[in-house]
Structure formats: C-alpha cells, structure tokens
Structure 1
C-alpha cells in the first residue's frame, strides 16, 4: 500500500523526517536531528524509528542539521542505501557534519566520527535541478527551493501517486538566493514555519546605518551573531547595501567564523543559484576582514576602534561569538544585533527577554550592551509567500508540516479562505494512504 508517515517535524520546526512507502520500497525524505530544549529526549526517541532496514534510500531537501543531522549516525549503524541530493547540498553537508564531529560527545547515542562522515558522503548520489531520475519504483525530480544553496523541493512519482515535499521554501525577495520553483503535484507536504505572519517589506537599511553611526561616535563594537550557513552570507550582502546607501556609516567589518569562510567559498562555485555574480565572492575581501588566526581575535578584544564583528553561532550557543560577548557585553557602547530566530533557553533568547545578566562558561556577565532585534532576514516564506507558491499548482491535498501549532492553524485558516486546496496539519507517526 502506498503511504506517507511523518517521523519528525510534524507540528514543530526541527527534526524533519518523512517516510514514503511504495509497493516494494521505503524512501525517507530528510533525516534531521531535533534541536532545542528537549533535544536529548526527542533524538533518543527518534532512534527507534530509524532502525536499520526501515528504509532503503534517502532524499535530502537541504543541508541544515535539522534535515540531515542523523545520516552519519545511520551509516555508522549499517545503512548502505543511496542518499539523493544536489551537489551543493553534499558540499554543505560535508562542512556541517565535519564541524559537528568536533563538538559531539562520544557518549551521545547518535554519535558519529569523521570516518562516518566520509562513508556517508560516499553514499551520496548527486542530481541537478529539474532532471528527473529513476530509482527502484520511484521517479524523483529535485526542484529549486530557494532558502540556501542547493535546497530542493523533491517531487516523487510512482503508480498514480505524485507528491512534492516543499522542504524549507525561500523567499522571492531574498537578497542573495534565487527564488523557488515547483511541480504540478497531486499531494503537497508544505512547511509552515511562518504561516502566522507577514514579513516586513522594507529592509532596515536606515536602522542599521543609525546604529553604526552611534558606534562610530562612541567607539563601540557592533556584534552580529549569525548562522554560518546562509545567514552570514546574506548579512554580508546586506551590509554592503547599507554602506552603498549610507557611506558615512561604513565601519570595518570582521568576519570571525571559520565555517562561514568555508560556506562563502561555495557561493562562487554555485553562483548560478544566487542573485549576484561569481565575482561577488572574490570581491568580499575588499569589504570584509576575515579572521583566520587567534592573534587577530585577541587584537579585536583590545582594539578600541569602532567596528562590526559578524560571527557565529547565530543563537549564541557556542563558537567565537562567546569570546566576543565576554569581551564586550558589559560595555555600554556595545550593540548586539539579533538577526535570526532564538530558541528558548539560548543566550540569544535571554538577551531578547532583557535579562540583566547572562552566564558564559560558568561566569556571570552584566548585560550593559544595547540589544536590537530584527525580524527582516528570515529565509522562510511567510503565509502570503506560501500561498503564492501553491497558487500555480492544483494539488488535491496539502499537508502542513514544519511549524508550531499556532502557525499551522493560522496558515490553514488563511489558505482555506483564499484557495480551494484541501489543507490539514500532518500528525506525527500517523500513516496516511496515498492515492
């Protein structure tokens, strides 16, 4: 019997996993780890549904750990099937997985090593966008999803079934990544991360300019924590735009994240997926100073000049941003710009709650820096963007996934009012027959 089962990210925004069962083959769409406060409990629970032999192959939508994070562990445990993805997804996955091996505890139930990563990469079968290929009983086509380099919305066809998974859908107005496309599927499994909101239309160019001018006048440091994969590259392009519109606000920009440097190099290789040219990456060093050595980082700590530090991690959970916080957060002239989602329990979330103190490495620091929150930079579509992506299609059924319950309820109500699609939130661990 042809079926669909959600194994993760049903009514939450992490741990994406979906199982398609055909007549003779089981195919997994994404294999992400759970990230957040309940990560240990949820990932331990997920291990039972990902046992050896429960699926024959995997299709990846894109290289974020909440979509790919479990795969090296499964290979470590004996998975020998094919992993289908775009070339850019493989290149990004290599960077993310290898970086993760440096911080994973061997005591974790889903631990994997650098050798496991190499084995996983060897299982990957690479496919370009919109080039249909066959595997067992399935025909598979990867459509551009926007969002990040290599992101795809896979269309899976067999017998009378034609189902497309949106993955994480990028925005038409993303300042760097080209927008998504789609197929004509009968069934669509669509993300709903921001199904309950409309993104701000105008970019905060003037707001950033004002903050930079304040820093210039006070000799302060501006810290911008950002994810190394996609958000940091978007922020570099955005900072260029700020300086183009407001040259008087230009400050030295230091990019302090080895992973950001590695990911940025891929933008030249995959320049056909971005809105700038391949030469844009080469020119970045004219605008930004990339921190490569500890001595440079140490100098930044004692440097009294006004400056911008773009660093990771985006949720302030680790990485070199922690050193910069220690050095600058107690200074009243410091500005910290939050440009991405902050999970509950993270330092980023604490700063947004106006906490007077934060703990770093078991030491308390007073928060004297000024905190600014910007919601303009999401790489996910809002409810209007999701409706527009569906508008040119005529699916008989739309399953909402990858969203909190409130976002899914709001999006369902919006789609019910503005489209004729049959829409329902997908339920975790429920098996749906596909027709």
Structure 2
C-alpha cells in the first residue's frame, strides 16, 4: 500500500490524500484553498481514481472533486464519491457557491474555467451516502466512518488495507467545544493515525464560556449606543454555533441571518440524528428548531436595504466568515461608515482575505459586493466602524485536544497534516 499527500501536507487547505495498491486507488478528501480556488491538489502522475471519500463538506476538503471529472482522472471502474448523508446535503449547496467564487477569480486572472456546472452535477450525482459505523468496501480497501465532532456530518475515516489499519481524522473537534455536536470518537486498533494539526501552535483554545460572554457583551455595548452588529460567519459550523449563542441571549433587538445560512441551517434541522445527544433531547422536548427559533431570516434585497437603512440597532449574521463572498461584504459596505456600528470576527481569517486585513488593523479594503442580479461589484471601502476579533469558537481541537485524541487511539505511527509547518513542528 502506498500513501501520498496531493495537498494538505504542511499547509491548511486543499486536503487530498492518495491511498493506492496495485489494484485500487482512492482519495481521502479532494479540496481547494478556501479563498484561493486556483490552488488545488497536485494531480500530476495520479493513477486513475477508483473512489473519493469525503470527511466533511467544507470546501478545503471537497472543492477540487469536480476537477477529477473535468480532467478525466477517474478510472473506468469508478465507484463514486462516498460521504455521510448530511455531507452530501451540505455539498449540494457549498460546491455551486464555491464555483461562483472560483469563476470570479479565474476571470480576473485571465484563466479558462477549470470545471463547469456540469462537472459539479456529475460529482453530486456520483455520491453514495454511508452512515456512521457502516462498513463498506472499495477494491482492496475496507472503510468505516466515525464521529469527528467538527461540523454536521463530519467523520473520521478508518481504512483497513493489506492488514494495516489507518485512521484519517479529516478535521476533528474537541469535547465541550460545540454543544450541538458529539465529541470525536476514538478508533481502536489503529496502526497509523493521520492527525490534523490546524491549531498545533495553540495549547488550549480560549474558554468557550468566555468567548460567549465577550460576544454578548460586545453586542450589548453596540446596541446601547444605537449601532448595528455584523458577524461574518461560515455557513456551516461557525454560523450554527453563533446562532445557538444569539437565540439564548436576551439582546433586546432583532437578530437576523442571511445568505446560505438559511439553507445550511435547515439541513442541521433535517439531520437532527447527527447532532449531539443533548440537542436531540432538546428537540424532542421543545419540538422547535434549536438554531433559528427567535432569529429572523432576511429574504431578498428589499429587506436588506430596509434593515441597513433603519435607525434601529440589530445583529446580522451572514456568510462568508472571511468577507470574501456571500452577503457579508454587502453589509460591511453599508455599515462601515457609521462609527456606532461594529464588526465581530469569530472565525479563522485566511491569508490575504478581507477578514484577515481587518483583523490586522487595515481600515481601507477592497470588497466584492453582491448585487440583487447575482453579480459582483468591486468596491473600495473605508471602515470607520469598530472591528473586534473574538477567539474561542473554533471547530478544531487545539494541541492538547489533539494529543489527548492521539493517546485515546494509541497508534504505532502518527502522521501530522492540515497545519502550517510551524504548527506541525510544535505539535
């Protein structure tokens, strides 16, 4: 059996791992750089691919899969893409959205389209869903999914091949970091553990309780001075975690959510069985949606304009979390001029993104602002409103969490991936 990283080694993004024998070749994940769709895995000298296994629906783990179809890199006996049911549901939203962002960047760079809508459709139609703890076989490989605790439907992938037990974490959470998800499962009998190391430099994340307190305090402070709060958030994972905080807080103002959060959060409701035991009990008792009850969706441009022009304080939760797509750039443009307003960044900000620039103190940024005609207008904005970064909401385990997980698995060998070189070295 041969193992080769096509992406995700000593970097965060474009995760893609090739496992191959003389008879079978499979990919564990096939992603792009989240904010850089021109950076995809190294497909040179790739044997024909018999199957792709997705650990979860984030674009840095699935976004390059349509390229396999557009480039003809699949075997004649291609078995399909394998994922949990929630991952397929979320991918049906995230892949087309990623294509929109990619198309904009390809045109800016004068590049030809690397793939088209048809390749996304072929990708999604090839997906075969597998539930957690179900065995399935692809050629020489026997595979089983376990809970990863990262986002809805995320899984740890256990692979048995030629008598070797390999455990690939994808991205894993940590106990107590997300009340709506169960913690990562320890997989027994691993010979090799492929362990993510995104936060290998950080021993322990800031307290989630303290992060929630700071978020509510910042919102209340803004409301008292008559301002509006924009929280850019990822549509899968971080968005739902923040929703849980906001719906429980007595803020005394309207709380809105927009963009893909409306679609992705519905799937969190649809696949309740993949949520934590505590949340399942809550749903059974209340018969209500545990994320959006008390929070109002924004439907259309007329409502957006009405909300931003209103003199009433409010909270707006909108993707993307890095202000590179979705409706969050529109709200930033509309709210940036008023010093009473505040932008609260609650997630990872990729290198070179608008969110990263704001987090480092830059106050004049270029935005791609969406219009009601689904076009993007490049606009320079001076940000006069307050910008705050609140850490502690991460869906990844920190170094101590990763070490504890490794100890629970007790593998013979550990291979670190999905982390910057410094994070991997530190861990």
**TM-score with structure 1 length normalisation?**
0.87
User: Is the partner of 2:3 in helix, strand or coil?
Assistant: strand
Q: Which residue of 2 aligns with 1:192?
A: 197
Contact 2:257 2:295 in 1 (8 A): yes
CA deviation after TM superposition for structure 1 residue 329, in Å: 0.9
CA deviation after TM superposition for structure 1 residue 60, in Å: 1.1
Residue 389 (structure 1) aligned to one of 384, 405, 420: 405
CA deviation after TM superposition for structure 1 residue 129, in Å: 0.7
CA deviation after TM superposition for structure 1 residue 109, in Å: 5.2
1:71 aligns with 2:65: yes
RMSD: 2.0
Residue 209 (structure 1) aligned to one of 216, 224, 233: 216
User: Is the partner of 1:376 in helix, strand or coil?
Assistant: coil
Q: 1:166 & 1:280 partners in 2: Cα distance? A: 33
Q: Which 10-residue stretch deviates more, 159-168 or 197-206?
A: 197-206
Q: 1:374 & 1:233 partners in 2: Cα distance? A: 16
Q: Which residue of 1 aligns with 2:233?
A: 226
User: Is the partner of 1:228 in helix, strand or coil?
Assistant: coil
Structure 1 172/351 Cα, relative in aligned 2: closer, same or farther at 3 Å?
A: same
User: Is the partner of 2:216 in helix, strand or coil?
Assistant: helix
Q: 2:408 & 2:380 partners in 1: Cα distance? A: 53
Q: 2:112 & 2:42 partners in 1: Cα distance? A: 11
CA deviation after TM superposition for structure 1 residue 110, in Å: 5.9
1:148 aligns with 2:151: yes
- 1:199-278 correspondence runs (5 A): 199-201=205-207, 202-241=209-248, 243=249, 247=250, 249-257=251-259, 259-275=260-276, 276-277=279-280, 278=283
- 1:281-296 correspondence runs (5 A): 282=289, 284-296=291-303
Q: Which 10-residue stretch deviates more, 166-175 or 377-386?
A: 166-175
Q: 1:62 & 1:285 partners in 2: Cα distance? A: 23
1:163 aligns with 2:166: yes
Contact 1:358 1:366 in 2 (8 A): yes
Task: Provide the aligned length of Structure 1 versus Structure 2.
Answer: 399
Q: 2:199 & 2:232 partners in 1: Cα distance? A: 21
CA deviation after TM superposition for structure 1 residue 182, in Å: 2.7
- Provide Cα deviations, 1:322-342, integer angstroms capped at 9, x if missing partner: 111111112110111000011
Q: Which 10-residue stretch deviates more, 159-168 or 27-36?
A: 27-36
Q: Which 10-residue stretch deviates more, 301-310 or 362-371?
A: 362-371
Contact 2:6 2:43 in 1 (8 A): no
Q: Which residue of 2 aligns with 1:22?
A: 21
- 1:4-403 correspondence runs (5 A): 4-36=3-35, 40=38, 42-43=39-40, 46-50=42-46, 53-78=47-72, 79=74, 80-105=78-103, 108=111, 111-173=114-176, 174-184=178-188, 185-197=190-202, 198-201=204-207, 202-241=209-248, 243=249, 247=250, 249-257=251-259, 259-275=260-276, 276-277=279-280, 278=283, 282=289, 284-360=291-367, 361-403=377-419
CA deviation after TM superposition for structure 1 residue 36, in Å: 4.6
Q: 1:161 & 1:261 partners in 2: Cα distance? A: 43
Structure 1 119/398 Cα, relative in aligned 2: closer, same or farther at 3 Å?
A: same
- Provide Cα deviations, 1:360-386, integer angstroms capped at 9, x if missing partner: 355433221111111111000001111
User: Is the partner of 1:392 in helix, strand or coil?
Assistant: helix
Structure 1 110/203 Cα, relative in aligned 2: closer, same or farther at 3 Å?
A: farther
- Provide Cα deviations, 1:218-253, integer angstroms capped at 9, x if missing partner: 210000000111111111002134x1xxx3x33211
Contact 1:8 1:17 in 2 (8 A): yes
CA deviation after TM superposition for structure 1 residue 356, in Å: 3.1
Q: 1:304 & 1:73 partners in 2: Cα distance? A: 47
Q: Which 10-residue stretch deviates more, 182-191 or 212-221?
A: 212-221
Structure 1 308/119 Cα, relative in aligned 2: closer, same or farther at 3 Å?
A: same
Q: 2:398 & 2:182 partners in 1: Cα distance? A: 16
Q: 2:139 & 2:237 partners in 1: Cα distance? A: 34
Contact 2:10 2:421 in 1 (8 A): yes
Contact 1:98 1:114 in 2 (8 A): yes
Which sections of structure 1, spanning at least 5 residues, go unmatched?
412-435
Q: Which 10-residue stretch deviates more, 170-179 or 353-362?
A: 353-362
Q: Which residue of 1 aligns with 2:373?
A: none
Contact 2:35 2:324 in 1 (8 A): no
Which sections of structure 2, spanning at least 5 residues, go unmatched?
368-376
Q: 1:281 & 1:294 partners in 2: Cα distance? A: 28
CA deviation after TM superposition for structure 1 residue 115, in Å: 2.7
Runs of 4+ aligned structure 1 residues displaced above 4 Å come to 106-110, 278-281
Contact 1:265 1:281 in 2 (8 A): no
User: Is the partner of 1:399 in helix, strand or coil?
Assistant: strand
User: Is the partner of 2:42 in helix, strand or coil?
Assistant: helix
